[in-house]
Structure 1
Amino acid sequence: MKKILAFALFIGTLSASAQTARYKCMIQMNSYKGEPAYVVISLINPQGGYEKTLSVLGPDKKWHNTLKEWHKFETKAKTQLNAITGASVNGGDRAMRTLEIDDSKLNKGYKLRFESAVEEQKYYVKDVEIDVAPEALAERAEGTGYIRFVKLSKVQ
């Protein structure tokens, strides 16, 4: 019985130490002509490598390869994308997502990267990048490609 209680206490400590914060994420797209954009939101580690896919806007897997850098990572990681995949987004429209970010990543050099691609048009590997720090996550981040801006707000 003591072993079971010790194990339960250990598991409870682990889950309490791995807390995540939820953020509403609004992506406002620039007006452009063409097909809807595919956008992927990734957690990038301090060394600049992909750590985790947080959300994918674009349901058809056959077009995921247009997000070239992320696709290289994803084909190796083989993440189950069903729970984090949604519709692509048209020019001028906006999309809302809820992202979960592990609190242990705050102020440690991690970034959120928003990649975007449109069929038969340019691919933007760093359309938006945001430092995973409370101040940066609270500010509006301007895009460099199909994304006009991204705004995050912490969900209480």
Structure 2
Amino acid sequence: MNSILKIALASAFICLLSLQTTAQTSKYKCMLQMSNYMGEGAYIVVSLVNAKGEYDKTLYVMGDDKKWYKTLKEWHKFYSKKPTDISAKTGASVTGGDRSITTLEIEDSKINKGYKLRFETAVEDNKYYTADLEIPLTTEGIANKVEGKSYIRYVRLSKI
């Protein structure tokens, strides 16, 4: 009986440890409104960047033709070094004046720790923006409507 209790306790301890290592995430609806620019559809990458501005993770890619990924120069450097399967995180490019609604999954441990969401944009035969828009990954930053610098008019997040 004593050995059964020890096995049960050891199993419970292992289960608790495995739960701790699993990152808790929250889902956010991301509404992106494009400005009324002239030109082709924009390729947009939504990345998680740390306090030093270094890429941590790709959250979403708007534009599914891989041949254009290199136009998103800074993100592509990161992606080329650590290629991951982003097929589940891709959608259509977005043209001037259009609106896009997607879902982003963000680790709760990244909130209020100096991270940002970076929206990087590129449009064929037009200027490239490493940070068309950045949202501080803070409780307050996530709740605000954030204005873009060029192709993106604004982004609004809401927790779902």
TM category, shorter: over 0.9
The answer for the alignment partner of 1:124 in structure 2 is 129
Tell me the TM-score normalised to structure 1 length. 0.94
Aligned to 1:13: 20
Matched pairs, number? 153
AA in 2 matched with 1:114 = F
For residues 1-156 of structure 1, the aligned pairs below 5 Å read: 1-2=7-8, 3-15=10-22, 18-155=23-160
CA-atom RMSD in angstroms: 1.1
Percent of aligned pairs sharing the same letter: 56
Q: Where do 5+ consecutive residues of structure 1 fail to align?
A: none
Q: Distance in 1 between matches of 2:139 and 2:66?
A: 33
| Partner deviation per Cα, 1:114-153 (whole Å, 9 max, x = no partner) | 0111011100111000100011110000000100000000
- Quote how far apart the aligned CAs of 1:8 are: 2.3
Post-superposition Cα deviations, 1:18-76, rounded to whole Å, max 9, x if no partner, equal 21111100110011111100000000011110000000000000000110000000001
Which stretches of structure 1, 4 residues or more, deviate above 2 A after TM superposition? Answer: 1-9, 12-15
Q: Which amino acid aligns with 1:46?
A: A
CA distance in 2 between counterparts of 1:30 and 1:130 reads 18
- Of structures 1 and 2, the larger Rg is shown by 2
- The one-letter code matched in structure 2 to 1:151 is R
| CA displacement 1:73-128 (0-9 Å, x = unmatched) | 00011011101010000110011111111111111110000011101110011100
Structure 2 unaligned blocks of 5 or more: 1-6
Amino acid at match of 2:17: F
Amino acid at match of 2:60: S
Take 2:19 and 2:145, find their aligned partners in 1: how far apart are those partners?
A: 36
- Which SS does the other structure have where 1:41 is aligned? strand
Number of the residue aligned with 2:3: none
* TM-score, length of structure 2 as denominator length: 0.91
CA drift at 1:5? 3.9
